[in-house]
Amino acid sequence: MGKEVSVQYPNNASADTKWLMDEVNAILERNRQRGNADWCGYDYDFTCPSFVTYPFQWFWDSCFHAISASHVDVQKGELEIKSLLKNQHPDGFVSHVTFWQRDAFEEMVSTYAIAFRNRYLSDEMQPPLLAEAVSAIASRGRGIEFINEVLPQVKAFYEWLHTVRNPYGDGLVRVVQPDETGIDHSPKWDGLMQIKKWTVDEFNAGWRRICDPYNAFNRNPKKMIELNHFVVADVMTNTIYIENLRVLADLCTQVGDTASAAKYIKRATNAKKSLIDLCWDEVDGLFFDAANKENIPLRINTFTSLMPLLLEDLDPIMAKALIEHITNPDEYWAPYPIPSVAMNEPTFMPATVGNILVWRGPTWINSNWYLARGLIRHGRTDLARIIANKSLELVRKHGFREYYNPITSEGHGAPDFSWSTILVDLFLITRNSDGS
């Protein structure tokens, strides 16, 4: 066991802040996994999402964990990111799951519909918030020293996205199956997956219709895209990508790599233009995913349609439209905002389907974190604070759960769910007097 870390509270921290930071530290430590993996020879030290259902290391979960840890135990955050990057592929790819201790949890692996690069590494990506995680850790820890340690690998990952998942040259990343977006069961995918009934069996069949054909050519990236049956410019994935290219540029600037910084800013600018050109719907005032080479809009109103609010230079007219959707009590301004699907969508379900299918209505703390930050950037810190307070209420009532019913507040999914600890960052940024 490592040395117990005493949480250092901010000056004038409230009782709520102290309670939250203590709880976050406890969850991150409770779900911590440390050891040595025989299959690769590497030591690992990371926080799994939940021992009950997710005992392995997930990409975007780890990034959330690292950001949370930066507030309570920055060394833990450093170790999280370093473990995530230890099995990076030579081309820069980072698996969305690393099965460090697979043999100890073999029975769980069969429940995941995951393609494998090898027995211990998945062959899929997840939303690319790696640069944000590195920035948070560096800003509260060793600064430039830490940046220099991980920056080559971080840059290699974003180069992989640019070269392998930018097939049409417009600067946007494409995903090739639903779980690469992190929101596996969203109703956005029902049409592409040919789902007609909202059941677990129907979804599994739809997943196989998308993914099984990839096996014929060993999941070759170029050929997967050429199939043109699930090649999606996902709004959330690309918003996070644009944001992280800008953060990556800042990291490069901090270490004097101005040439790389300029390159990443240019890519972010191009990607933002393409996102607006392909995905903005002026009539509905929402962003919709663009599917396949025909750029077919997936016209389902989910929280991802709001995600470009995160971009601080988003056109004020667009930002105003997105905020109006957020504050609409028929759409997203639920008793416990922000539901993952608009409440007036026919597909909205405030809990799960079959206790398995998620992202079809429940509120999630990580999406609240992103959208609240967007609200702050566009002058609505008041709304962001309401979301932070409501999120804190969810956690006080039901603990750190995977997701919550936006109507009743009931917690669902995995207990002691580590990425919900991102609430600590949400809560602290909304407590700053200037809302920054």
DSSP states along 26-81: HHHHHTEEEEE-TTT--EEEEE-SBTTTB-SEEHHHHHHHHHHHHHH-HHHHHHHH
Burial class (CB in 10 A: 0-12, 13-18, 19+), 436: exposed
The answer to whether residue 381 sits within a structural domain is yes
| Tokens encoding 255 | 């270490």
User: Per residue in 18-60, pLDDT tens?
Assistant: 999 999 999 999 999 999 999 999 999 999 999 988 999 999 9
The pLDDT of residue 197 = 86
CA–CA distances in Å: residue 141 to residues 66, 76, 101 = 12, 11, 29
Give the pLDDT score at 282.
Answer: 97
Q: What pLDDT sits at residue 187?
A: 95
Phi and psi angles of residue 411, each rounded to the nearest 5 degrees, phi first: -85, 145
Report the alpha-carbon distance of residue 91 to residue 285 in Å, rounded: 38
Residue 114: what pLDDT?
87
326-371 tens-digit pLDDT: 999 999 999 999 999 999 999 999 987 766 788 999 999 999 999 9
H or E element in which residue 168 lies: none
The conformational region for residue 56 under phi > 0 = left, psi -120 to 50 = alpha, else beta, is: beta
355: in domain:
yes
Q: For residue 84, how many C-alpha atoms fall within 13 Å in the half-sphere facing its CB?
A: 35
Is 138 within a domain? no
- pLDDT given for residue 278 in this prediction: 98
Distance of CA 112 to the CA centre of its chain: 18
Query: Is residue 364 one of the residues assigned to a domain?
Result: yes
Q: Residue 313: inside a domain, yes or no?
A: yes
- Per the structure, how many domains does the chain have? 1
What pLDDT, on the 0 to 100 scale, is given for residue 198?
82
CB 417 within 8 A of CB 49: yes
Distance CA 183, CA 127 (A): 10
d(CA 344, CA 357): 19
> Which residue range is the domain that position 379 belongs to?
306-431
311 part of a folded domain: yes
For 385-419, the pLDDT digits (tens) are 999 999 999 999 999 999 999 999 999 999 999 99
What CA–CA distance (Å, rounded) separates 215 from 199?
25
265-268 long-range contacts, CB within 8 A, separation 24+: 267/162, 267/171, 268/242
Angle 258-279/144-164 helices, nearest 10 degrees? 40
Q: CA–CA separation, 119 vs 99, rounded Å? A: 8
With respect to residue 167, please indicate whether it lies within any of the assigned structural domains.
no
156 within domain boundaries: no
Count of other CB atoms within 10 angstroms of residue 36: 11
Q: What is the pLDDT of residue 1?
A: 42
Walk along the chain (436 residues) in steps of 10 and give the mean pLDDT of each run.
72 94 97 97 98 94 98 98 98 97 88 87 97 98 98 98 98 97 95 90 91 95 96 98 98 98 98 98 98 97 98 98 98 98 96 81 98 98 98 98 97 96 97 54
- Helix (H, G, I), strand (E, B), or coil: what is residue 303? helix
